[in-house]
Structure 1
C-alpha cells in the first residue's frame, strides 16, 4: 500500500498515499475536505465550466481506501460538501455514498463550508474525541492529540506541488482529499504557532513519503 506508519500521542497511525489516515487498532479511516460538488458550485456561481468528474474521482478514491482498510468508523473532517446546494448530490453519487456508509459508523465533522445536516445519514459533530485523539476541522492553538484538516497543506518538491500531511509531536493536519481543491504551502505563515520545530511533511502520491519541513518554515 506504500503507506507511512507513525505515532501521535503514543497512538499508532498510518498515512495512506491517497491522503487518508488509518487507525488500524480502532478500525478508523479519516478523510478531510472532500469538497464534493465543487465543480457544480463554480459553474453555478461564476459560469466557469470545469470537467464535472470530481465527485466520481473523489468517491472512487474513497471507495478504494474503504475496500482496502474495511473500517468500522469513517470520520470526514469537515468541508465534505462545497456549499448547501452541492450537498444535493446526483442520484448515482448519493447512492454510491450511501453504499459506502452502509454497515459502519460514519461521522460528519462540521466544517466552514459544510451545509449542516444532510439527508445522507450518519452522525454530525463539531468534533469527536476517541482515546487520546480529538478530531476537528480547524486546528486550535495549544491542542494536543489533535487531528484536523481545513488548510489543504501542500509542499513543492522538485518543482511539483504535492499534497501532504503535516505532523509534529502534538498534532496532525490532513491534506484535502477532494479532487478540485487548492492548497496552502507548508511554509505559510498560517502554520506559524501551530506546528512545532522539527515537524515533518508526509507527501501523498504513489507512496506516502516523510520529508523534513525546511528549517526556515514556521
Structure 2
C-alpha cells in the first residue's frame, strides 16, 4: 500500500483504482459499472458476460488484503438502473456475502440513480464524515473537501517511444477524483477541459504503479507547481 494524503487525512492507495481509509477501516472505490456487458448485449453488441464477477472478485480480494470493515462505492455502481436486478447469479451471491459481512454504502450515480440495495447495503446520495464528503460527481466549489468518481480519469505518458495510458487519481486541495474500478470501463484524459472545469484549479494526476505513487502536474492554464507525496519518479517506471 502507498500513502496518499488529502485534506489532512491519511489514505492508502491499495490498487490502481482503490483507496483504504484507515480511520474508518474503509475501502473506497468508484464506478464499478456492474452488468455493463449485459447492457451492451441487450443492444446487440455481444461482450463476454464476466465483467461483474471480475470486478467483485477484485474488490473481495482488496477487502481481504486490507481487512476493511466498511466499503464505500462512489456511484455508477451499475451501468444502468436495471443492472441491479440483472446481476448474474455468481456475482449476486458474492455481493450478498460481502454486504452481509461488511458495512456497505452505495452512493448513487448518474447511471444508477434508482439503485436500491437489492443485494444488501445502504443507499445514500452522499456521505460526510471527519470533514470529508463522499459523492459521485465533483462540485466546482465544494463546502468541504470531497472524494468523488464519475470522470474515469486516465493519464497518458510517452515512454520508450510509445504512449502508455494509466488510470489515475486527480487531486487538488479540495478534490480527490478516483479512477473507475470496474473491469469494463474506459477513461477520460485527466488533462481534459472537462476535468479542469470540474476541479477549477491547480491539480495533479497520481498513478499507482509498481508500489510507487507517481505525480504529474496537469497542464491547466500555467498554474503553480503542486506539492506531491513523493518525488516525481522516472517515466520509465510506467510500463504495461
TM-score, scaled to structure 1: 0.92
After superposition, the C-alpha distances for 1:110-152 in whole angstroms (9 at most, x for unaligned) are 1000132141121110000011110000000111310000000
Structure 2 Cα separation of the partners of residues 208 and 54 of structure 1: 27
Q: 2:34 is matched with which residue?
A: 36
CA pair 100-206 structure 1, distance change in 2 beyond 3 A: farther
The answer to whether the 8 Å contact 1:186/1:217 transfers is: no
Q: 1:123 is matched with which residue?
A: 122
Structure 1 position 51, deviation (Å): 1.8
Q: 2:11 is matched with which residue?
A: 13
Q: 2:56 is matched with which residue?
A: 59
Q: Does 1:136 align with 2:135?
A: yes
CA pair 216-124 structure 1, distance change in 2 beyond 3 A: closer
Structure 2 Cα separation of the partners of residues 155 and 98 of structure 1: 34
Q: After the TM superposition, list the runs of 4 or more consecutive aligned residues in structure 1 that deviate by more than 4 angstroms.
A: none
Q: How does 1:197-212 map to 2 (within 5 A)?
A: 197=202, 199-207=203-211, 209-212=213-216
Q: 2:22 is matched with which residue?
A: 24
Q: 1:80 aligns with which of 61, 77, 82?
A: 77
The answer to whether the 8 Å contact 2:16/2:207 transfers is: no
TM-score, scaled to structure 2: 0.84
Structure 1 position 39, deviation (Å): 0.6
Structure 1 position 215, deviation (Å): 3.2
Q: 2:95 aligns with which of 80, 94, 97?
A: 97
Indicate the SS of the match to 2:34: coil
In angstroms, what is the RMSD of aligned CA positions?
1.7
CA pair 68-52 structure 1, distance change in 2 beyond 3 A: same
Structure 1 position 102, deviation (Å): 2.1
The answer to whether the 8 Å contact 2:205/2:218 transfers is: no
Q: 1:150 is matched with which residue?
A: 150
Which segment is superposed worse, 183-192 or 145-154?
A: 183-192
Q: Between Structure 1 and Structure 2, whose CA radius of gyration is higher?
A: 2
The answer to whether the 8 Å contact 1:17/1:206 transfers is: no
Q: 1:215 is matched with which residue?
A: 219
